[in-house]
Amino acid sequence: MTFSKSFFAGLLFLAFGLGAVAMATAYPYGSPLSIGPGFFPTLAGILLAGMGGVMMVKAWLSDQPPLALGDWHIKPLLIINIAVIGFGVLIESVGLLVASIVLVVVSWFADEQHRLLEGLAMAVAYPAIVIALFVYGLQIPFKVWPF
């Protein structure tokens, strides 16, 4: 049995799916006529875990090359995680606008090609879309500005 990229992707989906089902048990499931807050996370977790299981079996049965240690791109993984953690830390103190811009700018360094024009476009478009969707569309009371 070889462990390919598809196998590990399936394992990740399976783990997230089972985690969602485990966390959803804290909420009432409800009935078919009156679903509760635990219904959707349970259903989504089961579907995600099932998809991960299918991916793992397909990867196990295929002739994909095994994943070598050199195939892991550690730098982009670390940079993206730092960007997301930074967003979570900053959103309360500096607001959604600045935290979103910082998320995009830090994530830009994960791209090995460093495309400046695309990075600038994302730094403008992403915060605008996020603010329009969550603050104005869904009316979630996020602090938008740092002041």
Structure confidence by residue, pLDDT tens digits, 27-48:
998 887 888 888 888 999 999 9
Prediction pTM value: 0.60
Q: Average per-residue pLDDT in the chain?
A: 87
In whole angstroms, what is the distance from residue 141 CA to residue 126 CA?
18
Asked whether 71 and 5 are in contact (CB, 8 A), the reply is yes
In whole angstroms, what is the distance from residue 106 CA to residue 114 CA?
11
CA atoms within 13 A on the CB side of 27: 17
